[in-house]
Amino acid sequence: MSEPSHKHVVVVGGGVTGLTAAYRIHKLRPDWKLTLLESRDRLGGNIITVREKGFVVDGGPDSFVRTKPAAVTLARELGLEDQLISTRPEGRKVYLAHAGHLEPMPEGMALGVPTRPGPLVRSRLLGWPAKLRLFSEPFWPAGKANGQDESIYDFLSRRLGDAGAEKLAGPLLGGIYAGDIRKLSMRATFPQLIELEKKHRSLVVGTLAMRAEGRRRVKGESAPASRLARARQLIEAAWGTSESPFYSFKGGMLSLIEALAEALPPGTVQLDMALDGLRRDGDRWQLVVGDQKLEADAVVLACPARVAAKLVPGEALSRDLRAIEYLSTATVFFAFDRSTVSHPLDGVGFVVPPGEGEILAGTFINSKWAHRVPEGKVLLRAFLGGARGGDLVEQQTDEQLTQRAFNELERLMGRLGEPEWTRVFRYPKSNPQPHLGHKERLGRLRANGVPRLELAGAAYDGVGIPDCVAQAERAAEAIVRQLA
């Protein structure tokens, strides 16, 4: 442990990124003074959980992927191990809206990549030419070895064909960003699929090889030497049951925010405090919050990029931050008595491809998670906006959004009955879009970076909660390194 000092670090933004950065700085340097400024009257940013009348309602994010370990590692460190839950094992089916109703997504899909021929053959989502194109995926040459950026759509249609991109994989991958797959950068969103193509020349073979390797690791086996044995393992991998790819918390995603806040020293968090101005003063920073002034040795900006753009010194930095586009979304929740809902609700929910409806997705909360909905009740969530009407979401009243969501849910799911209650959560300009050229922009942001000022959060290296946690950890370590 180094000598105690009187450094002061200010973290701006009380979402998961800012809180994690503050927590890690405190863990690394408990002797430093720490201030977290949050402009709203609550912590969590996009994360908001309402616990009422036996329901646990996650208005924004309701889970995080287990394949990126940063968030689950943090949760364990915070003592939340026994709060971690996975999606219910019996209800992992995903539906796709198709021709006015819900069709099951073929089983064996992984990140939009089909790995089992049988379910694909039987699926009514695609015609025969599209299915044959999908089956031939391993035989299509790998492209773009020159490392140029490609949109999600261009990448997927090159590998899986136009229909595979538009109807199957695209809606799943684009849905995570509520964005337009023709604009989103493949390199900035799903680099792991690019790696699979590079390594295995095929997404299908690569996905199966990865799964086989995972199973071998669990069993402690080494890689088979012969081609035949390798092929057998790939086939076994296609039929093996897979774990839920998601984690959440029994009490909703806010549990992570609450645990982070509790682990900070009293007085660190300052709510209703928006940073209005930031100025370099020699080695230190001068901060303006309303009519108050603060001084700090280092600052972490974990607020949205468009806010950071107004605060950072230097036009070059500011221009690149301003250029990161944000879309607006909303979620609308409906609680019903189980007896009035005709759908079997035998899955986690559904995704709506472009042209198939006005909402982006629907979630059957009670089938997806245990501990969230009282017995005998149904909780549905509609996800609206993004590239499919983010502006409309901003303009419409709660009543209009609720009516639109209800009409769409009933059109696709069949009779729902009268909702017992409804609730709208709005996310104005809250979904950053890593469009084509995003990685180059991040490179420029790094090159134009200012010492003792770190940028972290959903606008940069990934929007998922684990991405935000990993960025926050890196920002905290960088600040500690620079000030030590």
Ligand X SMILES: Cc1cc2nc3c(=O)[nH]c(=O)nc-3n(C[C@H](O)[C@H](O)[C@H](O)COP(=O)(O)OP(=O)(O)OC[C@H]3O[C@@H](n4cnc5c(N)ncnc54)[C@H](O)[C@@H]3O)c2cc1C
Interface residues toward ligand X, by CB under 6 A? 12-18, 37-40, 45-47, 60-64, 274-275, 302-304, 307, 329, 331, 427, 430-431, 457-458, 463-465, 468
In angstroms, what is the minimal distance from the CB of 159 to ligand X?
A: 25
Report in angstroms how near the CB of residue 468 gets to ligand X at its nearest: 5
Of the candidates 46, 83, 88, the one whose C-alpha atom is nearest the C-alpha of residue 363 is: 88
Answer for the pair 163, 132: CB distance below 8 angstroms, yes or no. no
CB of 160 to ligand X, least distance (A): 24
- The first and second tokens of residue 224, run together, are 């088979």
Q: 161 or 390: whose CB is closer to ligand X?
A: 390
Q: Which is nearer to ligand X, 67 or 403 (CB)?
A: 67
Closest approach of ligand X to the CB of residue 365, in Å: 12
- State the DSSP code for 138: G
| Through-space distance between the first and last CA atoms of the chain, rounded to whole angstroms | 11
Residue 152 vs 468, nearer CB to ligand X:
468
| Torsion of the alpha carbons at 183, 188, 192 and 194, rounded to the nearest 10 | 60
Cβ distance to ligand X smaller for residue 98 or 423: 423
314 — alpha (psi -120 to 50), left (phi > 0) or beta? left
Give the shortest CB-144-to-ligand X separation in angstroms. 27
> Of 15 and 171, which CB lies nearer to ligand X in the complex structure?
15
CB of 233 to ligand X, least distance (A): 31
Tell me how far the alpha carbon of residue 131 is from its chain's centroid.
Answer: 29
Residue 166 to residue 354: CA distance in whole angstroms: 8
Is there a contact between 278 and 285 (Cβ–Cβ < 8 Å)? yes
Q: Is 299 helix (H, G, I), strand (E, B) or coil?
A: strand
Toward ligand X, which CB reaches closer, 130 or 173? 173
Cα-Cα-Cα-Cα dihedral sign, residues 40, 42, 45, 48: negative
* Smallest separation, CB 421 to ligand X (Å): 19
Residue 448 Cβ, how far from ligand X at the closest point, in Å? Answer: 20
In the complex, the smallest distance separating the C-beta of residue 40 from ligand X, rounded to whole angstroms, is 4
H or E segment to which residue 12 belongs = strand 8-12
Task: With beta carbons less than 8 A apart as the criterion, state whether 95 and 104 touch.
Answer: yes
Is the distance from CB of 328 to CB of 393 less than 8 angstroms? yes
- Answer for the pair 170, 190: CB distance below 8 angstroms, yes or no: no
Q: Using the minimum distance from each CB to ligand X, give the nearer residue, 212 or 273.
A: 273
Give the pairing of strands 377-385 and 421-432.
unpaired
Closest CB to ligand X among residues 106, 179: 179
Tell me how far, at minimum, the Cβ of 288 lies from ligand X, in Å.
10
Give the whole-angstrom CA distance, residue 235 versus residue 249. 34
**Beta carbon nearer to ligand X, 115 or 350:** 350
> Which CB, 67 or 154, lies closer to ligand X?
67
For residues 371 and 363, what is the distance between their CA atoms, to the nearest angstrom? 15
Q: Label the pairing between strands 349-351 and 94-98.
A: parallel
